[in-house]
Chains A and B, each alone.
Chain A
Amino acid sequence: MERTHQEEAVVKLTSVTFQYEDKVVLDDVTFTLERGDFVGIVGPNGSGKSTLMKLILGLLPATKGKVELFGQPLSRFRDWTKIGYVAQQAAHGAGGFPATVREVVSSGLVGKVGLFRRLKPHHHEKVRDVVDRVGLTEKLDQRIGSLSGGQLQRVFIARALVAEPELLILDEPTVGVDQESIDQFYELLRSLKEENGMTMMIVSHDVGVMTQWVNKVACLQRRLHFHGTADEFAHNHERILQQMYGDTVKLLAHHH
């Protein structure tokens, strides 16, 4: 397929392998994320989902293969403000940190504003807008320690959004978040995609819920077992999941 420069893939992995000591975590993964995609990455624990994200973010080096972001090889990529990242909440452990919602969200502008520069009025306005968008305006100047798990998660999303990224990467964003907040959370992602045309990639073990919202699914278990539209996945999920998780595990996908 021929592409013009403008339609370059947002993320392109070509035969990527990642090895940690003797263990092959990712084996020959080829994967493309197009502009406007909302991709869900599915796989059991230890299937290499988080590793895949870390490779894309440059947090880990690929053992073999090629990673490209916005048409540039990772080693030359410098436009990190184009990418927003929301890590696994468990990894933050940030509750005790003496910072307010405003301070945490403002820190999302650190790359965009640049070294030695201070935030300007329009940056502060942007912070207020984003906090409003995730529905935390009345918490703006409260310490993050006073927030619930779901609210804290929205703070981290706001921090990722404040620099107006073109690609949003979310790693297990709904762990430790109550059901109501999860629905709100996916509504928010959907509106970001529809109104802002944002490209999104989300890793979740909660296959059933996530696959209802995304438009593409990639199934990962060391190798890429499936990569297609959410519809295709819905029609074949039994076979795909069985192949990945093995026969002993009953299906996690449930349809409402």
Chain B
Amino acid sequence: MLADWWQYDFLRYTLLSGVLIGLICPILGTFLIVRRLSMMADGLSHVTLSGVAAGMLLSKKVALFQAVNPLFFGMLFSVAGSLFIERLRKVYKSYQDLAIPIIISGGLGLFTVLISIAKGFNADLYSYLFGKIVAVTKDDLYALIGVAAVVLVTVFLMYKELFAVSFDEEFARVSGVARRSINLWFMVLVALTIAASMRIVGVLLISALITIPVAASLQIAGSFRQTILYAIVFAETSVLGGLYFAYLLDWASGGTIVLMAVLILFAVLGVKRLRAALR
């Protein structure tokens, strides 16, 4: 059965995109969580969803957009959403988490309206919502490779700036770090990552892959670097294990991946507790 993964193109695409997602989601997730922005991914995923719905509607109604991947609109909406969140956070300085529910409800509202205008969509929408192994196309994979490359290069070149801004924004500013541009760029990357990852994990579950492996990692990591490294290990294990079982048992890939991540989190918490008890 493992041979299937190399035999069929769609499974190879799925596997490759899974590995990339398991790499970039926890990296971005670590920075988001230590900045107490873990809900940001959730907010953006809902906006992305409305973008995908808009893309599907346009391809249905307007001939010009027929060939355009709805994912493209998902990315567009997601980036616009991230800029809007930054704006809202500035307007509500002392209620910064208010931006998230606003963006979630707005995204979901727009999504349902677009569905009603289209009088329902085909089953393809389901794969955007919850992820589906066979849904990953070559285009999806290319988009993800592009996004992953940008994320990795950014984190490699701007690691110290990202760390400084995450740890102590005021100090970073006083050190002359271009804090605003860095925050904005980072949010754009999160938005793109969410849009590009949704085919496998599903847009409603993507924030789980951004947060849960990091939550497990925070329990045992001895440094910030380790937090990122362990989170990647946990995320890759969840993705590969999840995809395997999803294929084997014919379960939804997104759900299986997320359950796998939750399982790892419980295992880490359990082991930690056991160790403390034995000491």
Interface residue? A80 (CB, 8 A) = yes
Give every chain A residue within 8 A of B157 (Cβ-Cβ): 116
Does the CB pair A103–B222 fall under 8 Å? no
Bound CA span A108–B167, Å: 11
Bound CA span A80–B221, Å: 33
Bound CA span A80–B173, Å: 9
Does the CB pair A109–B221 fall under 8 Å? no
Given known contacts A97-B167, A98-B218, A115-B161, A103 and B172 CB-to-CB distance under 8 angstroms: no
Does the CB pair B175–A141 fall under 8 Å? no
Give every chain A residue within 8 A of B178 (Cβ-Cβ): 115
Binds B, one of A81-89, A131-139, A214-222: A81-89
Bound CA span A87–B170, Å: 9
Interface residue? B223 (CB, 8 A) = yes
Does the CB pair B175–A57 fall under 8 Å? no
Does the CB pair B222–A111 fall under 8 Å? no
Does the CB pair A110–B164 fall under 8 Å? yes
Chain B 134-158 near chain A by CB (<8 Å), digits 1 or 0: 0000000000000000000000011
Chain B 161-179 near chain A by CB (<8 Å), digits 1 or 0: 1011001101111111110
Interface residue? A12 (CB, 8 A) = no
Does the CB pair B177–A85 fall under 8 Å? no
- Size of chain B's interface in residues, with CB distance under 8 A? 27
Does the CB pair A99–B177 fall under 8 Å? no
Bound CA span A158–B221, Å: 23
Does the CB pair A107–B174 fall under 8 Å? no
Given known contacts A115-B158, A115-B161, A94 and B167 CB-to-CB distance under 8 angstroms: yes
Interface residue? A47 (CB, 8 A) = no
Q: Which size class do A's interface residues fall under?
A: 35 or more
Give every chain B residue within 8 A of A143 (Cβ-Cβ): 222-223
Instruction: Return the chain B residue nearest A100 by Cβ.
Output: B223
Bound CA span A7–B227, Å: 48
Does the CB pair B171–A85 fall under 8 Å? yes
Give every chain B residue within 8 A of A100 (Cβ-Cβ): 222-224
Bound CA span A60–B178, Å: 16
Bound CA span A107–B160, Å: 6
Bound CA span A80–B174, Å: 7
Of A80, A81, A85, A98, the most chain B CB neighbours within 10 A belong to A98
Interface residue? A90 (CB, 8 A) = no
Does the CB pair B167–A107 fall under 8 Å? yes
Does the CB pair B167–A80 fall under 8 Å? no
Give every chain A residue within 8 A of B163 (Cβ-Cβ): 99, 103, 107, 110
Interface residue? A256 (CB, 8 A) = no
Instruction: Return the chain A residue nearest B218 by Cβ.
Output: A98
Does the CB pair B174–A98 fall under 8 Å? no
Of B164, B168, B173, the most chain A CB neighbours within 10 A belong to B168
Instruction: Return the chain A residue nearest B226 by Cβ.
Output: A98
Does the CB pair A159–B223 fall under 8 Å? no
In angstroms, how far is the closest chain B Cβ from the Cβ of A73?
16
Interface residue? B272 (CB, 8 A) = no
Does the CB pair A98–B224 fall under 8 Å? yes
Interface residue? B113 (CB, 8 A) = no
Q: Which residue of A57, A97, A99, A110 is within 8 Å of B160 (Cβ)?
A: A110
Bound CA span A107–B163, Å: 7
Q: Which residue of B161, B164, B176, B221 is within 8 Å of A98 (Cβ)?
A: B221
Given known contacts A116-B158, A119-B160, A110 and B175 CB-to-CB distance under 8 angstroms: yes
Give every chain A residue within 8 A of B102 (Cβ-Cβ): none
Given known contacts A106-B160, A107-B160, A116-B157, A141 and B174 CB-to-CB distance under 8 angstroms: no
Bound CA span A81–B227, Å: 29
Q: Which residue of A78, A94, A111, A113 is within 8 Å of B168 (Cβ)?
A: A94
Give me 5 other A-B pairs in contact (C-beta within 8 A), A99-B163, A119-B160, A163-B175 excluded. A80-B175, A83-B174, A98-B34, A98-B226, A107-B160
A interface residue numbers (CB < 8 A to B) = 57-59, 78, 80-81, 83, 85, 87, 91-92, 94, 97-100, 102-104, 106-111, 113, 115-116, 118-119, 141-143, 159, 163
**Considering the complex of A and B, which 8 residue pairs feature the smallest CB-CB distances, nearest first?**
A80-B176, A111-B175, A111-B176, A110-B164, A99-B224, A100-B223, A107-B164, A98-B227
User: Can you pick out 25 interface pairs between chain A and chain B where the beta carbons lie within 8 Å of each other?
Assistant: A59-B174, A78-B176, A80-B174, A81-B176, A85-B174, A87-B171, A91-B170, A94-B167, A97-B224, A98-B221, A98-B223, A98-B227, A99-B167, A99-B224, A102-B223, A103-B163, A103-B225, A107-B163, A107-B168, A108-B175, A110-B163, A110-B164, A110-B175, A119-B160, A143-B223
